[in-house]
Structures are given as C-alpha cells and as structure tokens.
Amino acid sequence: MSGKLTRRHALMAASLSPTLAAPPSLAQSSATQAWPAQPIRLIVPFAPGGTTDLIARLVATPLQERLGQPIIIENRPGAGATVGSLLAAQAAPDGYTLVLSNIASHGISPTLYPNMRYDAVRDFSHIALLTLNPSVFVANPRAGISNMADFARIHRASPRGLDMASSGAGSSNHLLIVRMGQILGREINHIPFRGAGPAMTAVIGGQVPLMSDSLPSAASHIRQGSVRAVAMSSAERHPSFPDVPTLREQGYDLVTSSWFGLSGPARMPQPVVERLSREVRAILATAEVRARFAEIGGTPGEFSPEEYAAFVTAEVASWAVLVRESGAQPD
C-alpha cells in the first residue's frame, strides 16, 4: 500500500474522526490561545477564615476581573494542607485548576509526612509568590498572658503545661510551637485545628488560651481586642503593629516567616503560566493591594515562575533540617 495520504483519504479521515484531523499540538495551541474560556477553580488547602483563604480571596477578585472568567475558591483542608494540594497535583494541567501553595503544603509537609503522594517541586507548575508574613502569638485576654515572661511562667507552673492552637499539623505555626517548647525546656501541648479560623474561634471563646497564627489572619482580631498579641516572629517590630514586641526582643532567638503562592499541576502550558504570572505581579504592584497587604501584615512577592520554583525547592531543603531537628510528628 502506498504511504502517501491522498486528499480523498484526508477528507475521509476528517469526516469519520474530526478530533483526529487536527494534530494534537495545533489543538493544544488553539486551546491555549483561547484560555481562559471557562471558570477557574482555585483550591485553598485550609479551612475558610485563615490566612491562606484570606490571601486567596484578596488576589482572586482582581485576577478574575483581569482574566474575564470567574475564579471559584474551593476549600479542601486536611493533613498539613496536603489533601487539597494533592487534588491540584492530580488535576488536568490545562490552567483551569490552581492551588494556593504555601509553607505547609510545599515547604514543611514533604518532610513531615514521609508517605506524601506528591513531590512539592516536580508535580507542580509554580507561578508566583504572593506574600511573605511573620507569625504572631496571641492569647485570650482573660488568660493572663501579656508577654513571653507571663507565657513562660504560667507554662512552667501549670501541672500539664499550656495548650496552644494552630491551623493544623504540619503548619509553620505548629513547628514554631514545637521549637518554643524546646527552648522553654517543656513541651507545649499542640492543639491542631482544621484551619486558622476554627483555631482563632476557640481562643476567642476561651477553649484554648493561646494560638500561634500567621499575622494576616490574626490582624483584625488583634485590632478589635478579641485577642492579645504576645509576640511577633519577625526580626524587627512590624510597622503595622509597632506595639507588639518580637520574640527576639523578649529573649527568644526565633525568627520565621510563612509564605503563600500560586501554583498549578505540572506541565501546564507555558503561555498560560506566563499570563498568570504577569497578571498576578501586576495585581501585587497596585497601590490598593499593597495597602491591603500592609494592613494585614503581609509583604507582596515579586518572583517570576522560575524564581518561585527555585524558592520552593530551597524551602523544602531548609525546612527538612528544621523538621528533623524539632522531632515534630503529624498530629
């Protein structure tokens, strides 16, 4: 049989199987050029009400306006933010599923969870760093803890030590609690919640006296006086909260920052990644968004996709050392 494809053969093939008539590369190119042609799902791997959810909504609103398609936020908390992140890693890499990558899911959990089912670097297209921000220790105003001296005194005097909440096992705030207990010479009882929102509700209600939280999710509660800020994990006092002393000021050499970014499944079309990167960086440069980040205690990111991927790679390596040294275990 001749190896030549005649015009008649081509027409027959097209009529019998239209989807095979165009080469896959051309079909993919056409789909990429039309992106976005439908709503985009943004997975937030924590419960509503916490920092991750707050950052997602702050960026998603202007992003959907710029893209011309709705961005549907889907909260999928659990297991150190790995449940929602795995869902994103397994999604089709077509640009219609994104995830709020963060220090828990893509920095700490790769070491904390030895049987994790995704690779934080290889299984994702990393698009943009959204924000860096410190953690803050907050206390119920009736707990009698105004500073770290009170914290240490009450913790050592209590028969079972202090309870301290966080947004969940595997979060940077979980490890901060573990490390603080090591410095004090007595383990602090970690009380994990499925997100910062439920944890903060428990502290305000008096079910748990203390919480280690990311500053953006705690900021409004501090300003309202529903919780008392005890210490900040930044190297220096935060300009938005100049009255809150750092841990270092109070004799504890602990300096940490959490981070949040935008990622998608591996092998997303490069034009889609570049479009998202451009749009997000433009949003982060606006006066309105920068003012909002300053208000809640966050610093906007400025990384390209390549820089953000390199940043995530470095974070996995850095936190691996800290996780092993701390002896932290999933709750």
Q: How far apart are CA 126 and CA 85, in angstroms?
A: 12
pLDDT of residue 1: 39
* CA distances to 46, 85, 107, 143, 324 from 114, in Å: 20, 16, 13, 37, 12
DSSP string, 28-95: HHHHHHH--SS-EEEEESS-TTSHHHHHHHHHHHHHHHHHTS-EEEEE---TTTHHHHHHHHTS-SSS
pLDDT of residue 50: 78
Residue 207 predicted with pLDDT over 80: yes
Superfamily the domain 39-132+258-326 falls into: Bordetella uptake gene, domain 1 (3.40.190.150)
Tokens 């999710």 correspond to what residue? Answer: 217
pLDDT of residue 298: 86
Closest alpha carbon to 153 in 164, 165, 145: 145
pLDDT of residue 30: 54
Determine contact, residues 74/43, Cβ cutoff 8 Å.
yes
Q: How far apart are CA 59 and CA 172, in angstroms?
A: 22
Q: Report the percent of the chain where pLDDT is more than 70.
A: 90
Determine contact, residues 147/243, Cβ cutoff 8 Å.
no
CA 221 from chain center: how many Å?
A: 20
Residue 300 predicted with pLDDT over 50: yes
Residue 192 predicted with pLDDT over 80: yes
- pTM of the predicted model, to two decimals? 0.77
Q: How far apart are CA 36 and CA 272, in angstroms?
A: 9
Tokens 């994702």 correspond to what residue? Answer: 124
pLDDT of residue 29: 54
- Please compute the mean of the pLDDT values over residues 295-312 and round it to a whole number: 92
* CA distances to 21, 252, 274, 294 from 142, in Å: 71, 24, 50, 29
Polymer length of the chain: 331
pLDDT in tens, 122-140: 999 999 999 999 999 999 9
Supply the CATH classification number for the domain 134-232: 3.40.190.10
pLDDT in tens, 12-62: 333 333 334 445 444 455 556 789 999 999 999 988 887 888 899 999 999
pLDDT in tens, 225-269: 999 999 999 999 998 899 999 999 999 999 888 899 999 999 999
Asked if the domains at 39-132+258-326 and 134-232 fall in one CATH topology, the answer is yes
Q: Where are the domains of the chain?
A: 39-132+258-326, 134-232
Window from 17-21, 59-63, 112-116, 166-170 with minimum mean pLDDT: 17-21
